[in-house]
Structure 1
Amino acid sequence: MSSVNSTPSHPTAFILTGIPGLEAAHIWISIPFSVMYIIALFGNCIILYIIKAERSLHEPMYYFLSMLAVTDLVLSTSVSPKMLALFWFHSKEIYFDSCLIQLFFVHCFAAIESGVFLAMAFDRFVAICNPLRHSVILSNPVIARMGLVILIRGLVISIPLCFLVKRLPYCSNKVIMFSYCGHGIVVKLACADIFIDTVYGLTAAFLVVGFDVTFIVLSYVMILRVVFSLPSRTAGFKAFSTCGSHICVILMFYILSLFTYSLNGFSHKIPLYIHVIVANLYLLLPPMFNPIVYGVKTKQISSRVLAMVPFNRSK
């Protein structure tokens, strides 16, 4: 006789709650979130357009910046439309397959973004520590292969997450106390042992972030050694200043990532709505922040953006 409290297969749909405890304020919370998403869309599209149109920007640093812009567009778009529909129209239902696709894109492109940051750190390392061979080491075929490896790594890490979620049986509770589908959030609804799912999710996140952060730090240690060994302080400062925008976006991404995982570990002590808001900011703030930082700190991009403004053109 089959059990009435569980189903042998996955449910047709889940119910997203948005931000638990703050449902009455959803319409107000949607304002900053929608502004962040719009800025991320326009900012990253402008970055991509400028790099494609300006031949002087067809260099390794800007190729990696293009990869970052595409990643940010996908990452923010994977969660924002459904989240805003939930806030504005109370569209809480998400089909199981749609949830699985969203889960895949969130985890895959978060891993890709981390990999792009590592590639950008390597680019700065070569540019400062071995400038004469920069164009040889980071030739276009090498950059293409690096991008392919980063993409494949994201796929290899994320596809098993989807299979792990799909194989589980789910109980009568279909309510996801979140505004999007994440691996750790969805598997908690399963009426089965999720030890393998939990171990794999934590191990994958630890290996990706641990590997990337370790080599990013090593790259900047080597960069600082070269900068401090330069005879001219001005030359050293000028060389290191090219890393400023990269350091800013890296800190933003990994600090929010660390904060999100820390809150997840202490979820019983911290209100759930704080956890959900921080998790949303982790997926929305870097995509908005990255094009602004590069637009302000990179002269070639900022001058081209100003040239696109009608007021400046008329002058």
Structure 2
Amino acid sequence: MTRVSFEFFPPKSDAMEQTLWATIQKLEPLQPDFVSVTYGAGGSTRERTHRTVKRIVDETNLKAAAHLTCVAASKEEVNAVIRDYWDAGVRHIVALRGDMPDGPGTPYKPHADGYANGAELTAGIKSIAPFEVSVSAYPECHPDSANWDADIDQLERKVDAGADRAITQFFFDNDLFEAYRERVARRGIKVDIVPGIVPILSFKQIKRFAEMCGASIPDRLADRFEGLDDDAEQRMLVAAAIAAEQVLDLQARGVDTFHFYTMNRAELVYALCRLIGINPVAQAAAAA
């Protein structure tokens, strides 16, 4: 059975909040395993993330997962956030080391009194309450990893600390994902590796994200968006075709679980879910 999860980011304005909630209402009948809400660099969106997650818990039937980073914060500060999430009814955290407040590319420096990395954060979360914990994985190797052995070592530490699954950074070459899964399997690490899929709503935006996180964009994809900067309708059709090709190929390779980076937009993600056999189910309103 194919399963999906969705990722949102906390809105910065009333208009963006309306867009987000329209997206949530559109995607909720697809009954994802969970939905997650991101956490800005250096914890910059902590309050907005908490507010969004709390509203999902209170007003929908969705299982909400809160992103949490350990950068630029003490263990005491991070632990307080973890306890607040538990008290708010959240039972799933996406544990990430995070980027420095100045953003990707800034050398990482652990807080003197904080968790040093995602593995320590995962262990800390599990020591406070029996959360489900998802962690990150990198089919093209994390930019801070010296080599593949170091990268897989870090994944192994996170799994040993109690991680329940690993969700990958977005990628566009399925051979890279397959090679990554093989590396993990050869190491004997027993954890589900869930592919993170991002529809290309804006090629310029995705190119910028890819440059920041070390992901590659094949030339063949860039070529397909050539000349479409001012043609939103054609961009959407091309984006839908590319995403469909990717998820169908992954299905053919035996992948049955997907994590969609929605960019707070429902259209392409909804269509992709229908394409891979996820149909909407009528749901009763969440209990008051």
Q: TM-score, normalised by structure 2?
A: 0.28
Structure with greater helix percent: 1
Larger Rg: 1
Q: Could you say which structure has the greater relative contact order, defined with CA pairs below 8 angstroms and 6 or more residues apart?
A: 1
Structure with greater strand percent: 2
Q: TM-score, normalised by structure 1?
A: 0.27
